[in-house]
Amino acid sequence: MIKPIKTIQPNDPNESNEGTKPKGISAADRAARAFRKRFGMEPAQVASAPGRVNLIGEHVDYTEGIVLPFAIDPRAAIAIGPSTDHQSTFVAEDLAASVTYPGPPSVVPDPSPAHRFANHLLGVLHAAGGTDGRTLNILVASDIPIGAGLSSSAAVEVALGAALAAWLDRPTNPHALARQAQIAEHDFVGTPCGIMDMLISAAGIAGHAIRIDCRDLQLTPVAMPRPEEAEVLIVDSGVTHRLSDGGYADRRASCERVQTILAGSLRDASLESLCDSRISDRDRTRATHVIEENARVNAAVAALETGDLSLLGEILLDGHRSLRQLFEVSIPELDCIVDTAAELRGDGCFGARMTGGGFGGSALLLVATTAVESVRKTVEQRFASTYGRTPTSMTVRACQGVRIES
Ligand code: GLA
């Protein structure tokens, strides 16, 4: 479904060694192939789950807000199977990293910085209720660029939850997979994230964004524009973000302080209620973003439903202004991409905004299909003239969520 304009993580297409991504081979096939090579047997199960782009609804999922993400084609895959050596080995093919534990995997985080990747897996195994005392091998392969704000971690976690459930013949569903992934992030990785990334990775529907009500986790599919009409272009700032670095937790803490003062969720708060003098100026500004962002999501859903892409573009630009000025999670590189996109409004670009947690990562541009190449070129040129390097970009379409691969 993806139409790469440029791959974000360039690899030699002719190579097939570990750590490279042979052209045209899916993450699932790479995971299965590397599993066979490493462990000398077929995996018991292979599952894959997608990355995501959030169309709008940023920094509202952890205050019971409304978000509008869609699953994208780059996927992470997990191959899983029993081990025969009384040890459990995890291999991350793209990171050229591996770790072996004696016996079944532990139920506590691995403190070693070199095994950071393993905590995503340990956390899911723990949240899923363990492995029934079995030792196992896990091979991870992913096409989702790390640090580009496209939820590579959530995809790995959701894929593992699905592979594990299939292997151990346990019932599961998208909400359970998302919850397990979130527990892994909170308790093993140290990222106090919301539920959006994992839930869309588990529940994505081809051709649709999904309006997620983060209060009751109700999912409402909303059709994306037809591909003949408009495309979503992702431009990666090249600035790697890491949500465990502190800025994310700081924003979340602001929202929680306001909620404590108001004795209720920001989802129910009005702008007037923020006049409470116990709320600091900074927290008030951030909470203003949250309240207005929830309204923008509903407006965006209405614009998609009526096919008003020009209005949708305006809403995206408004959302970016708010993240930049009120919530303060944008960076100059993302602003440069979005400002250039805004200047191209008469030339086929409907609108743009940063997507994801911020402090780096990617911007999304909603572009008339006929104008994708020219918009991309102008944005790349402007970025290159400012920062001395060309950003990578790709168009993405809404895809299916997690699946067991045959
Ligand atoms: C990250 C988090 C999500 C969400 C976004 C901001 O992607 O993982 O839960 O909070 O940031 O909208």
Q: Whose CA is nearest to atom 5 of ligand 1?
A: 357
Residue 106's pLDDT is what?
84
* Atom number in ligand 1 closest to CA 357: 11
Q: Going by C-beta distance under 8 Å and a sequence separation of 6 or more, which residues neighbour residue 37?
A: 18
Report pLDDT digits (tens) over 344-401: 999 999 999 999 999 999 999 999 999 999 999 999 999 999 999 999 999 999 999 9
Tell me which of 28 and 22 has the higher pLDDT: 28
Q: How far is CA 24 from CA 13, 53, 290, 350, 378, in A?
A: 9, 22, 41, 31, 29
Mutate to test the pocket of ligand 1, among 61, 144, 146, 266 (most ligand atoms within 8 A of CB): 61
Please tell me the residue having the least CA distance from ligand 1 atom 1. Answer: 357
Q: How far are the Cα atoms of 61, 157, 255, 327 from residue 260, in angstroms, in the given order?
A: 17, 31, 9, 19
Q: How far apart are CA 292 and CA 52, in angstroms?
A: 23
Where do the domains of the chain lie, and which CATH numbers do they carry? 6-49+73-204 (3.30.230.10)
In this predicted structure, the answer to whether residue 11 has a pLDDT above a threshold of 60 is: no
Return the ligand 1 atom nearest residue 151 CA. Answer: 7
Task: Give the 3-state secondary structure of 45-68.
Answer: EEEEEEEEEECCCCCCHHHCCEEC
Q: Which amino acid is at 36?
A: R
* pTM above threshold 0.75: yes
How far is ligand 1, taken at its centre, from the CA of residue 209, in Å? 16
Judge whether residue 255 has pLDDT over 80.
yes
Q: If you average pLDDT over residues 177-183, what whole number do you get?
A: 98
CB 233, CB 348: distance < 8 Å: no
Confidence tier at 20 by pLDDT (50, 70, 90)? very low
Atom 2 (ligand 1) nearest CA: 193
d(CA 159, CA 156): 5
> Which string of b and e fits 105-116 if b means at least 16 CB within 10 Å?
beeebbeeeebb
Q: How far does residue 387's CA lie from ligand 1's centre (Å)?
A: 26
**CA 162 – CA 395 distance, rounded (Å):** 27
- pLDDT at position 23 is 58
pLDDT at 244 (0 to 100): 58
Quick: pLDDT tens for 79-92: 999 999 999 999 99
Please, are residues 198 and 177 in contact by the beta-carbon 8 Å criterion?
yes
CA of 153 to the centre of ligand 1 (A): 12
pLDDT confidence of 243, banded at 50, 70, 90? low
CA dist 238 and 379 (Å) reads: 14
Kindly report which listed range (238-242, 290-294, 330-334) carries the lowest average pLDDT score. 238-242
Residue 263: phi, psi to the nearest 5?
A: 55, 45
Percent of the chain at pLDDT > 90 equals: 90
CA distance 234 to 115: 30
188 pLDDT higher than 90: yes
Diameter of the chain measured on Cα atoms: 66
What would the DSSP string read from start to end of 333-355?
HHHHHHHHHHHTGGGTEEEEEE-
Q: How far is the CA of 248 from the centre of ligand 1 (A)?
A: 8
Q: What is the per-residue pLDDT across 304-331, written as a single tens digit (0 to 9) for each?
A: 999 999 999 999 999 999 999 999 999 9
- Which atom of ligand 1 is least distant from the CA of 149? 7
- Give me the pLDDT at residue 49, please: 98
User: What is the CA(211)–ligand 1 centre distance, in A?
Assistant: 15
- CA nearest 296: which of 231, 211, 361? 211
Q: Which residues belong to the active site?
A: 197
Ranking 17-26, 134-143, 189-198, 311-320 by mean pLDDT, the lowest is: 17-26
Rounded percentage of the chain residues whose pLDDT exceeds 70: 94
Pocket of ligand 1 (CB under 6 A): 54, 58-59, 61-62, 193-194, 196-197, 243, 356-357
- Mean pLDDT to the nearest integer, 253-280: 98
Nearest CA to ligand 1 atom 8: 193
- Sign of torsion, CA 43 7 369 68? positive
Residue 165, token pair as written in the block: 């459930």
Q: Which residue has the higher pLDDT, 116 or 201?
A: 201
Residue 245 or residue 58, greater confidence? 58
- Nearest atom within ligand 1 for CA of residue 61: 10
Output the average pLDDT for the chain. 93
Q: Band the pLDDT of 22: cuts 50, 70, 90.
A: low
Q: Are 151 and 362 in contact (CB under 8 A)?
A: no
Q: Given strand 136-142, what is the order of strands in its sheet?
A: 97-102, 87-92, 136-142, 69-82, 45-54, 403-405
